[in-house]
Each structure stands twice: as C-alpha cells, then as structure tokens.
C-alpha cells in the first residue's frame, strides 16, 4: 500500500514538474510535493512507527523517490532560467530610465567666492591674486609691521626654514594683504581690486578658528578716495550678497597698514538690527578689519608720499558662508566630510 502510494506521488510529481513553465510554478509544486504539509512529508514522518523491516524498505524507497523529485525540480529550474535568459537578452527595453551619473559640485567656499567675484566685477573691480607662500617682506615689513613690532603677534605664522642663511625667510601668508603691495608695484592708480585667496595661521582650532581659511582683500586707490566711498561699496556688496538691505557700521580699531583703522560691522542678516538670537541681542555682526591705506604702505609699494588715498579691507570667506547658510563650525569646510559637502 505505502509503496504504491509513494510511487504514485513520485510519478504525478515528475509529470507535473516537467510541464512547469515558470519559476513561480516550480515553487508551488515544490510546496505541494515536498512541503511540510505535503502527503509525502507525512509519509516520511510516519516511517518511524513502522516495523524495523518495513522501516528499512519504505525508508529506502522514500529517499530514492525524494531524490528523483529533487532532481526533476533542479532540471526544471535550470531550463526555465536558460529560457528566460535568452528571452531577456534578445530584448532591449528602451523605456527603462537611464542610470544617473554622479556629478561633482562646487565646494561652499567656491560658491561664495564666485558670488563675491560676480558682485565686484559688476562694480568694476578687477580680481587679483598672489602667492600663498610669501616672503617676510611682503607679509609684514612692507605692510608697516617691522620684525620687532608686537603687532606681528596678531598673525600666528607658519614660517618656512630658509634654504641658506642669507636667503629671505618665507611663510605661508597669514592674510591676503601682501597682495596689496604686489599689485601696487605693478599698477598705477586709480584702480579697484579684490583678492580672494587661501591663508594660513598657526591657530589652535575650534568652532570659530581654522589653520587654513579664505579671505578676500579689497583695495581701492585713487587721488580722492575717502571713507564715504568705502562705506557705500561695503553696503552695496553686502546687500547684494545677502539679498536684503544691509547697513554698515565702522568702529575704531588698529592695524599697522591702515590709518585710521576700523572694525567693520553689518546690520544683523536675520533681524536687520532689531536684535535677535543670531546677533546675540546686539543688532550688529562683526565682519573683519579695514581702514584707509597707511601712507607708509604706499611708500613701500613705490608710490610718492601723500599723492594717493585708498581703502582696504580683509574679510573671511568662511564667515560669510557661515552667515549665509547658518553653519556653526568653521572646521566643517576643510573636514572633507561628505555629509556636509553634499548639502551644497
């Protein structure tokens, strides 16, 4: 009885598997013939209750039948796979959307630099640049900061060991101001330039300080330039950059290369001066240093004393980017962290 039952199951199973046309059909036949609730499985489960003789005979028969069924399933699966493969290879689905190529994009500092260059080009400024590795004279002396002057301490400098003793010392420039001298040596006033570029300082880094950062210098020189021009250009630039009306405030300060010198503030970009959290209830935000060019700087660049007047400023690009996008840690810019960079 049991023997016949097993043979019957096997024969119908083989017949049906043979006719299967798809993966899904093979799957449901597998459940039907070998699944936990299948008749066949039931027989296998009950083998243990048979007499030892029968156990041996039926056990053997059942195992061979199972193997045969398994083989048939494998054959059917292979066949279906081969068929569907051929079928797909011959067909091109032109409606499948193409794979997107990952494109690079600009770093937030580059975006800000491009914007600044656009705005100043529109106001008739030229864009100048100079070396990042700079001599001691351009970095300091020509800007009226002699070697023994305590003001040098304001620029924590990365010095580079000179090759020989009598060669001039080089340093990674701690500001973009040396380009003022380089430009003036080659050009005669009137002119107006900005100098965006990388600077380096031997800083202990924190959320507001970074050893590698960007500044943009402005230098406007002519025979009749005054603080009024300077304030107006600042107001125009910041209003365009932040796309809202910005007011400018100058506070007295000190730089060896400007006289008089100022700290440059703008009205808060969030509350417009009404006092809020962003400006710490102050109404103003500090931007950077500026002033009227010191006549000693003109002299160092080879201009006659007293002939020209000009203004200059040096502002940090990161600071502007941080205000624009409300970024609270300057270290993110140089971090190489894609989670940050990919947001721009």
The single residue among 116, 312, 330, 332 that binds ligand PHE, judged by CB under 6 A, is 312
Site string for ligand PHE, 124-163 (x = CB under 6 A): ----------------------------------------
Min dist. Cβ of residue 163 to ligand PHE (A): 28
The single residue among 130, 256, 289, 310 that binds ligand PHE, judged by CB under 6 A, is 289
Tell which positions 167-196 bind ligand PHE, by CB under 6 A: 175, 177
Nearer to ligand PHE, 112 or 312 (CB): 312
Nearer to ligand PHE, 40 or 298 (CB): 298
Q: Which stretch binds ligand PHE (CB under 6 A): 74-82, 222-230, 286-294, 299-307?
A: 286-294
The residue of the chain with the least Cβ separation from ligand PHE equals 314
The single residue among 230, 255, 303, 308 that binds ligand PHE, judged by CB under 6 A, is 255
For position 300 contacting ligand PHE by CB under 6 A, the verdict is no
By C-alpha distance, which of 9, 13, 17, 21 is closest to 74?
17
Min dist. Cβ of residue 223 to ligand PHE (A): 20
| Number of residues counted as binding ligand PHE (CB under 6 A) | 12
The single residue among 290, 292, 320, 323 that binds ligand PHE, judged by CB under 6 A, is 290
- Separation between Cα atoms, residue 283 and residue 270, nearest integer Å: 9
Q: Which stretch binds ligand PHE (CB under 6 A): 10-18, 129-137, 236-244, 289-297?
A: 289-297
For position 234 contacting ligand PHE by CB under 6 A, the verdict is no
Distances in Å between the Cα of 66 and the Cα atoms of 8, 45, 49, 71, 319 are 12, 13, 20, 9, 75
Min dist. Cβ of residue 258 to ligand PHE (A): 5
Q: Which stretch binds ligand PHE (CB under 6 A): 12-20, 46-54, 101-109, 282-290?
A: 282-290
- Separation between Cα atoms, residue 31 and residue 42, nearest integer Å: 13
The single residue among 258, 267, 269, 309 that binds ligand PHE, judged by CB under 6 A, is 258
Nearer to ligand PHE, 72 or 263 (CB): 263
Please check whether residue 175 is in contact with residue 314, taking contact to mean a CB–CB distance below 8 angstroms.
yes
Bridge partner residues of 218 (DSSP): 194, 313
For position 201 contacting ligand PHE by CB under 6 A, the verdict is no
- The footprint of ligand PHE (CB under 6 A) covers 175, 177, 217, 255, 258, 288-291, 312-314
């Amino acid at each position: 009885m049991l023997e016949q039952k097993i043979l019957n199951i096997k024969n119908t199973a083989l017949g049906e598997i043979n006719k299967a046309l798809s993966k899904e059909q093979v799957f449901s036949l597998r459940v039907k013939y070998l699944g936990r609730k299948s008749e066949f499985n039931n027989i296998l489960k009950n083998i243990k209750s048979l007499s030892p003789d029968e156990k041996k005979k039926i056990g053997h028969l059942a195992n061979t039948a199972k193997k045969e069924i398994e083989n048939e399933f494998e054959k059917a699966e292979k066949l279906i796979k081969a068929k569907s493969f051929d079928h797909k290879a011959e067909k091109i689905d032109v409606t499948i959307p193409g794979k997107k190529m990952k494109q690079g994009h600009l770093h937030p500092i580059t975006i800000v630099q491009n914007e600044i260059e656009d705005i100043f080009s529109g106001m008739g400024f030229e864009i100048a640049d100079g070396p990042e590795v700079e001599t001691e004279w351009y970095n300091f002396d020509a800007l009226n900061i002699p070697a023994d002057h305590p003001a040098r301490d304001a620029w924590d400098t990365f010095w580079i060991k000179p090759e020989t003793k009598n060669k001039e010392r080089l340093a990674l420039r701690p500001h973009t101001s040396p380009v003022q001298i380089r430009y003036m040596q080659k050009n005669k006033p009137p002119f107006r330039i900005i100098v965006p570029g990388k600077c380096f300082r031997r800083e202990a880094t924190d959320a507001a300080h970074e050893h590698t950062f960007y500044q943009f210098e402005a230098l406007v020189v002519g025979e009749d330039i005054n603080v009024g021009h300077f304030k107006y250009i600042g107001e125009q630039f910041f209003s365009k950059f932040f796309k809202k009306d910005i007011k400018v405030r100058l506070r007295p300060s000190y730089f060896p290369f400007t006289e008089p010198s100022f700290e440059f503030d703008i009205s808060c970009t969030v509350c417009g001066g009404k006092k809020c959290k962003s400006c710490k209830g102050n109404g103003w935000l500090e931007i950077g240093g500026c002033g009227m060019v010191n006549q000693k700087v003109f002299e160092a660049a080879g201009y006659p004393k007293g002939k020209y007047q000009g203004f200059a400023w040096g502002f940090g690009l990161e600071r502007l980017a941080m205000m624009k996008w409300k970024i609270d840690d300057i270290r993110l810019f140089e971090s190489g962290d894609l989670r940050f960079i990919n947001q721009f």
